[in-house]
Amino acid sequence: MTEEYIRFGNKKLRKGFTTGTSAAGAAKAAAAMALTGKLIDSVEIALPDGRMISRPLSQRELTAKGAKAAITKDGGDDPDITTGLDIFAEVTVDDTGEIKLLGGEGVGRVTLKGLKIPVGEAAINPVPRSMIRQNVRAVLPEGYGASVTISVPGGEEIAKRTFNPRLGIVGGISILGSTGIVNPMSEDALKESLSLELKILTSKGYDEIIFAFGNYGLQYLKDAGIPNDRVIKTSNYIGFMLEEAMDQGVKRVLLSGHIGKMVKVAGGIFNTHSRKADCRMEILTAYAALEGASQETIMEIYEGKTTTAAVEVIEREHLTGIYQRIVNNAVRRCQNYTYQEIEFGAVLFGDESRLLYMDEKAKEFIKEFQKK
């Protein structure tokens, strides 16, 4: 796979590779060297979509029990704080048939519930875990296993400048990535691209548009059988896209969003990036109080670190009226933001695109969009 680029407006930005890809490649290289006793300079890495990429090793050595390799994280033109870090994997091959993953120096450890990784485990997300196992398995003889330790020297210091401390991930960075590829995010270029995308639709005469806040939103719409020819992934720029929609004569908008972003819009936050504003737990706490939750439950939601954790409490305590409040207030905020010029409906969902609530307007919109 050669270098790939993405165009945002007039800018050509180079794609990069995730920490997960770097870890998987380092692990595969270390496993291969541990088996053969010979050093190598580069490694072929399988991505989740089946493509293969080649990455050079920044460090490599044979150890007393196996081998160790590193790949330098290259985020492309994305302003990624982890770019330049060496992602190490130390591998010991055994005959257990299992591949064990461990987190070493500079890799965070999960201390709170509500994340995708259990408490006590290294902060290596599910897709990178799968990538590491798949790539190591590719070089192991049948019946063999391995112990893989991922480490990131300097990761603990870098993690202080991420959101890991707020999520209860301590001691280092997270090993992340859902596709293995980093798509660069230039804010001005992205806004320009989003505006152009909307112009293409309105120039076709479309005045009913769907705004999906992220990948979960796109997946829900796909599963609902809604054609993607009127769907725009807004990312964090909800307010910007509402202004563009007004300027371009859009009459109706269906909002499709994960609770983590929709609750921000319900609170009047129209740039949903966590650096701009984040009062998700405060809003959920207020809605829980309005639903009659106990003081103990309110505090449990308030002290939670993620909306995933909050959803568990909400459903355990039968407070699902909170979902309706989120949708109703998000719609109201958007209507006010657009001076009542645009009609809105909203679909709210949780992890894995699980439907939590949709209002009547959303049901109408979806039926109409399914026919088109």
Q: What is the pLDDT of residues 246-264, one digit of tens each?
A: 999 999 999 999 999 999 9
127 plus 271 within the same structural domain: no
Residue after which a domain boundary falls, among 133, 152, 182: 182
Residue after which a domain boundary falls, among 154, 182, 210: 182
276 plus 342 within the same structural domain: yes
- Residue pair 266/326 in contact (Cβ under 8 Å)? The answer is yes
Residue after which a domain boundary falls, among 159, 182, 205: 182
201 plus 160 within the same structural domain: no
210 plus 232 within the same structural domain: yes
Instruction: Measure the CA–CA gap between 307 and 260, rounded to whole angstroms.
Output: 6
156 plus 279 within the same structural domain: no
290 plus 204 within the same structural domain: yes
Q: What is the pLDDT of residues 193-237, one digit of tens each?
A: 788 789 888 888 999 999 999 877 777 788 888 888 889 999 899
**What percentage of the chain exceeds 90 in pLDDT?**
73
Model pLDDT, residue 372: 67
* Average pLDDT value for the chain: 92
- Residue 191 belongs to what domain range? 187-371
- Which residues are paired to 93 by β-bridges? 146
Number of domains making up the chain: 2
For residue 60, report the phi and psi dihedrals to the nearest 5 degrees: -160, 145
The arithmetic mean of pLDDT across residues 59-67, rounded, is 97
Q: What is the CATH number of the domain that holds 15?
A: 3.30.2110.10
**Global pTM exceeds 0.95:** no
| Three-state SS at 199 | helix
Model pLDDT, residue 140: 98
- Which residues are paired to 71 by β-bridges? 87
Instruction: Measure the CA–CA gap between 324 and 314, rounded to whole angstroms.
Output: 12
| Three-state SS at 44 | strand
Query: Element (H or E) spanning 5, and its range?
Result: strand 5-8
The arithmetic mean of pLDDT across residues 161-182, rounded, is 88
Model pLDDT, residue 23: 99
pLDDT at 67 over 80: yes
